[in-house]
Amino acid sequence: MAGGTFKMSQPKVRPGTYVNVKNGRQATAPSSTRGVGVIPLIGYDWGPRGQWIVVSSDSPDGHLSEFGRSIYDDSNSAMIMLQLMLLGATTVYVYIPDGGKAASGKTTLDASKEMTITAKYKGSLGNKIKIVSIENPAGGFDVSVILDGSEVELFEGVKTVEDLKDCSEYVTFTGAGTLKAFASVSLTGATDDVSGNAGISDFLDKSEKVRFNCMCFPSTESSLQTALLTKIKYIRESIGWRCQAVAPNFSANYEGIINLVNSFAYGEKELTTAEACAWLAGATAGADYVTSLTYKTVTGATYVVGEMNNEASIEAINAGKTFFSVDEAGEVILEYDINSRVKLDSETPQDIRKNRPLRVYDTAANDLLLMFPPNKFSNDEDGWNAMEGLGRSRLQLYEDDGATTNVNLDEDFLVDRGKSSGDSTYIRMGLQAVDSAEKFYIDVITR
């Protein structure tokens, strides 16, 4: 469905729902949900390339064969990032850009026939695969797939190569003939070569189809960060789905980009800023519109890497930078829940650089996109009354949840009956977002 922002001077061509969020109060439906994150695993050493792996917080290790390891493998940077994202997100769409080569190996069978074993996926983890065949006393052979020293699959009583075809989640067996016992066939030749900018561009393009709340973009390359900014703007303003991305050291001056500039130690490992983006992306994806992440504790963090003093902290906040600090109890926390937006104009809500108010505006925009699809209502008095009824019920929900204040149901959701005609309907919606109390100014009067 088409969406995005609109200009009164430029009528839209495609049927759709177009939403502008402006400063000032302006005059049961589906609702958007939160908790969805996306992340590319750049240069990962295993797994399906160029497609989504959807990981749920309910079953984090539901994709062992696709990742080649548990997400709780603390020796692997990519798995640590998934752990961090799932601390806040309920669903994470994982994408492995194309690149690298798959490992393979051969063995000679009886009658000089060969069996070729090829790793299911590209990536150097395939070089740690071994295949073992042991004669089964009851007949046939027991074939084991060994990955990094651990047996991950066992096929019992197999007699021919054909019996092994399409059986394994880790390797592909090809060839023909009767099996025999062999001690070990080691797979070799795998690489992790990345596909360059094309792989990330493909990831960004495919992200358009996912209704995510926040993306982790763990790249410091300037050309890729520029592509990220372009894509997030496109998704927010042309497609119409409000989302954000967290990127390391990227002063984008845009509310859709959160600029993280330091990191923390997770257990015994000091994370890079790019890796730490995963925690903030997950936390942002899972935060609702009545929650601020300011001073949120980072579970599992032991100390801050690149801690700032008072002067540096003030300078960073004024520059739209987000960072980790240590609170009075010694816990690692997120200092301030802001995005990279620093320059505001008269058309922009003045609190838009704060992520809690932004989540109110983004939730409203996403809800409107879902509530008012093309061809759901007649563009007449009956239809307008129905639209206003839905809109006002949603405003009441926002107020009841504590997301908005000063709500006037009679004035804050109105169809402009003078402008609405043909297939175009114009609606004005008023919102005043509630922020968290994060700065306290207290006068203590002595007596």
> How many domains would you assign to the chain?
3
Same domain, 247 and 315: yes
Asked, for residue 11, whether it belongs to a domain, the answer is: yes
Q: How many angstroms separate the CA atoms of 256 and 239, rounded?
A: 14
Residue-wise pLDDT for 131-170, tens only, equals 999 999 999 999 999 999 999 999 999 999 999 999 999 9
Where residue 29 falls among pLDDT bands split at 50, 70, 90?
Answer: low
Same domain, 321 and 218: yes
**CB-based contacts of 312, cutoff 8 Å, min separation 6:** none
Asked, for residue 447, whether it belongs to a domain, the answer is: no
Average confidence score pLDDT of the chain: 94
Same domain, 393 and 311: no
Residue-wise pLDDT for 160-217, tens only, equals 999 999 999 999 999 999 999 999 999 999 999 877 789 999 999 999 999 999 999 9
Same domain, 374 and 237: no
Domain end position, chosen among 295, 311, 334: 334
Q: How many angstroms separate the CA atoms of 295 and 336, rounded?
A: 7
Asked, for residue 439, whether it belongs to a domain, the answer is: no
Q: Reduced to 3 DSSP states, what percent helix, strand and coil does the chain have, rounded to the nearest 5?
A: 25, 25, 50
Q: How many angstroms separate the CA atoms of 403 and 435, rounded?
A: 8
Same domain, 292 and 354: no
- pLDDT exceeds cutoff 90 at 80: yes
Domain end position, chosen among 186, 212, 229: 186
Same domain, 205 and 87: yes
pLDDT at residue number 283: 98
C-alpha dihedral sign at 284, 286, 290, 292: negative
pLDDT at residue number 1: 59
Q: 3-state class of 278 per DSSP?
A: helix
Same domain, 40 and 21: no
Asked, for residue 287, whether it belongs to a domain, the answer is: yes
Q: How many angstroms separate the CA atoms of 305 and 264, rounded?
A: 5
**CB-based contacts of 331, cutoff 8 Å, min separation 6:** 297, 298, 301
Asked, for residue 50, whether it belongs to a domain, the answer is: yes
Task: Return the amino acid letter for 249.
Answer: N
Asked, for residue 445, whether it belongs to a domain, the answer is: no
Asked, for residue 339, whether it belongs to a domain, the answer is: no
Phi-psi label, residue 111: left if phi above 0, alpha if psi -120 to 50, beta otherwise:
left
Domain with residue 206: its CATH number is 3.30.1370.220
pLDDT at residue number 32: 76
Residue-wise pLDDT for 372-428, tens only, equals 999 999 999 999 999 999 999 999 999 999 999 999 999 999 999 999 999 999 999
Residue-wise pLDDT for 277-327, tens only, equals 999 999 999 999 999 999 999 999 999 999 999 999 999 999 999 999 999
Tokens coding 194: 């990345």
Task: Return the amino acid letter for 112.
Answer: S
Query: Residue ranges of the alpha helices (H) in 124-169?
Result: 161-164
Task: Return the amino acid letter for 31.
Answer: S
- How do beta strands 427-429 and 413-415 pair? antiparallel
Short-list 28, 46, 18, 35, CA closest to 287: 35
Residue-wise pLDDT for 101-131, tens only, equals 999 999 999 878 899 999 999 999 999 999 9
- pLDDT exceeds cutoff 60 at 24: no
Domain with residue 129: its CATH number is 2.60.40.4290
pLDDT at residue number 197: 86
- Say how far residue 113 (Cα) sits from the centre of its chain: 48
Where residue 245 falls among pLDDT bands split at 50, 70, 90?
Answer: very high
- How do beta strands 52-56 and 91-95 pair? antiparallel
Tokens coding 78: 């990519």
Same domain, 403 and 425: yes
Q: 3-state class of 244 per DSSP?
A: strand
Tokens coding 437: 């109390």
Same domain, 125 and 228: no
Short-list 152, 432, 419, CA closest to 144: 152
- pLDDT exceeds cutoff 50 at 430: yes
Short-list 181, 250, 202, 215, CA closest to 98: 202
Asked, for residue 227, whether it belongs to a domain, the answer is: yes
Same domain, 166 and 268: no
Phi-psi label, residue 364: left if phi above 0, alpha if psi -120 to 50, beta otherwise:
alpha
Same domain, 227 and 370: no
Domain end position, chosen among 186, 212, 234: 186
Same domain, 348 and 230: no
- Domain, as residue range, for 414: 2-30+344-429
